[in-house]
Amino acid sequence: MQISSKTFRGIRIIAAVNGVAAFLHVLFWSFALYRLASMPSAAHNAERIDRIVTAGIGVADQLWSVPFLTAGCLGLLWRLPIGWFGAQMANALWWYSYTFLFIREFAMREFRPGTMLFLPFALFSFWSAWYLCGKIGLFFARETKMQKGVVK
């Protein structure tokens, strides 16, 4: 299937943004988790709970977001179905994470640096999901050699 340069530009932009986001996730959470581990024990129960929740978000991001963002980055460039799927899963994780973060941070009346750092990626994910839904055929409707009759 032929792909126009304009369409491929949109896919490359999404791939690049996913790659940058994956890299930032690894850097940010490696630093944040290291810092959490090196902090003295929390005196108050609320502070201890906050640290546990933050650590949980960090571990979940490393286990789920980074692989999906990486698969989205590389797979989109190679027009593989796993790239489309990874990018869409990463988009859904942005929405899930930011729903949680906004509720937590509005309740606390404090927006944390990580929330602000990753907000542009979360906003970008709305356009990314919409764009990729319109391009699904580029990733799943490929003709194989067998379908073309080359392999018997």
pLDDT per position as a tens digit, 86-103 = 999 999 999 999 999 999
C-alpha 23/C-alpha 116 separation (Å) is 16
pTM greater than 0.85 (yes/no): no
pLDDT digits (tens, 9 = 90+) for 121-149: 999 999 999 999 999 998 987 554 445 55
CB 62 within 8 A of CB 71: no
* More confident call, 23 vs 43: 23
Look up residue 57 and give its amino acid: I
CA dihedral of residues 2, 16, 10, 144 (deg, nearest 10): 20
Question: What does the pLDDT average to over 100-121?
Answer: 90
Half-sphere CA count of 78, side-chain side, radius 13 A = 12
